[in-house]
Amino acid sequence: MLSDNISRAADGSLRFAGQSVPALAEHYGTPLYLMDEERIRANCRMYLDAFRAAFGGAALPLYAGKAASFKQMYRIMAAEGMGVEAVSQGEIHTALSVGYPAGRIYFHGDGKTPADVRFAMEHGIGCFIVDNEHELALVDAEARRLGRRQKVLLRITPGIDPHTYEAVNTGTVDVKFGVPLETGQAFAFVQEALALEGLEVAGLHCHVGSMVFDEDVFERTLDIMVGFMASLYRSLGFVTRELNVGGGYGVRYLESDRQADIPARIAAVAAHLKQLCADAGLPLPFFLMEPGRSIVADAGMTVYTVSTVKHIPGFKRYAIVDGGMGDNPRYCLYQARYTVLHADRGAENEVIFDLAGRCCESGDIIQPAIPLPADTRPGEHIAVCTTGAYNYSMASNYNRLGRPPVVMLRGGESYVAVRRESIEDLCALDL
Ligand code: LLP
């Protein structure tokens, strides 16, 4: 199986986190997001342990809330001792509403509005990751208005191609995030920030992309970032006390995908950073990473019920289910690949289907060309694996479909973390 929290019972039915997927589907209805709480916690501990082993206390992994943001997630992050990065008032509010400590939140985003800046500062957000010069001025003005110095990291674009897909590449010089090194703008950006009285410039941030598998991406990033840190020290006497290299480790969506050995990668990244800093005569900065996908993706599974099966002889078979691009837009957006499994019975007499959604457009495909039993029929359940990251968080109400609930699985029990959106909810904002 793709992941060790997925298995089949003796009767062929699917089990996730040790529980019967058809039984959960019957109990909670479909479409349904399942999340394996123990896997989320284990993934957090993998990062925390690897950081501790490599850096002692001088490092912190920040969970990238954009991957899946709802209250229970922040309760888990608080309990595990993870930091958090947030990109909107909504994510910040969600975290704070369950008592997640504001001081451990890093606030991201390339288009923060004046209202966002005010909201975050009034709520005592620990650190702003400033994307651009305009934001520098905004944060400085707000900090001075409140009579404080706001801790910030400055987002730099290092000019690295992470070899991932276009929509999630964020490292090359021409992306919309951060301030590029290559053009000399990054140096001026730091200089400008240091002159502002409302800011405490703690260090630098960069994020080169998501679904990164190239083994040396973070090492190449560090080569550039530590080079920049050395030039800042030489020219401005500025010491980078914190260095945040973003998120990005890839996960397995298909059996043929590689499995990144994240603890080993972190150990290698740490050794490389220590060497670079020693060679440059710089103190080792406090080290941060922002994993999202690798914390929650393999903790998730989406379960659907087949509504209809269509066979167009000589062309295609469709299994059409009760969800679609509304709960999982990733194939439509990125041609993202997934492992799809019949949830009620094992692989027998399989033929190729397109798994299609119920939205009113031909492009509403959850996954093309997947094998399913030839006699797959309405009423049966289909599971899409590895949907814990960027599925719930990117879901929409297209066609006025309610978003599925998020049901957490823990120790043989299940509970609702986000309830199903009702048709009344869908009209709740209409006047
Ligand atoms: N830090 C920053 C600044 C980011 O922009 C991101 C992701 C992360 C951390 C977390 O990266 P991760 O560890 O999850 O790769 N919707 C796309 C992914 C967009 C990623 C955006 N930024 C998808 O569904 O594949």
Q: What is the CATH number of domain 108-291?
A: 3.20.20.10
pLDDT for res 343: 98
- CA 429 to chain CA centroid, Å, is 28
46-93: pLDDT as tens digits: 999 999 999 999 999 999 999 999 999 999 999 999 999 999 999 999
β-pairing, 32-36 with 105-107? Answer: unpaired
Q: Which atom of ligand 1 is nearest to the CA of 212?
A: 15
Find the helix packing angle between 89-97 and 71-80, rounded to 10°: 60
pTM of whole model > 0.95? yes
Backbone angles phi, psi at 281, to 5 degrees: 70, 30
Q: Which atom of ligand 1 is nearest to the CA of 207?
A: 3
Report CA(263)–ligand 1 centroid distance (Å): 19
Report CA(342)–ligand 1 centroid distance (Å): 29
Mutational test site, ligand 1, from 293, 384, 386, 390, max ligand atoms within 8 Å of CB: 293
375-384: pLDDT as tens digits: 999 999 999 9
Residue spans of the domains in the chain: they are: 6-36+297-426, 108-291
**Is residue 168 scored above 90 in pLDDT?**
no
**Is residue 334 scored above 70 in pLDDT?**
yes
pLDDT band for position 147 (cuts 50, 70, 90): very high
Q: Tell me the catalytic residues.
A: 360
**Is residue 342 scored above 80 in pLDDT?**
yes
Any alpha helices (H) in 329-401, and if so which ranges? 330-334
Report CA(278)–ligand 1 centroid distance (Å): 31
CB of 207 within 6 A of ligand 1: the answer is: yes
The token duo for 345 is 């019975």
Q: Which atom of ligand 1 is nearest to the CA of 246?
A: 1
CA distance 398 to 226: 45
- DSSP class of residue 68? S
Question: Strands (DSSP E) along 171-315, which ranges?
Answer: 179-180, 199-205, 242-244, 286-289, 300-312
Residue % of the chain over a pLDDT of 70: 99
pLDDT for res 165: 65
Span 358-372, mean pLDDT?
A: 97
β-pairing, 14-16 with 19-20? Answer: antiparallel
Q: How far is CA 316 from CA 50, 282, 350, in A?
A: 47, 61, 14
CB 394 within 8 A of CB 382: no
219-259: pLDDT as tens digits: 999 999 999 999 999 999 999 999 999 998 999 999 999 98
What is the third-level CATH fold of 6-36+297-426?
A: Lyase, Ornithine Decarboxylase; Chain A, domain 1 (2.40.37)
CA distance 347 to 369: 15
CB of 67 within 6 A of ligand 1: the answer is: yes
pLDDT for res 282: 98
What residue type is assigned to position 184 of the chain?
G
Beta bridge partners of 312: 316
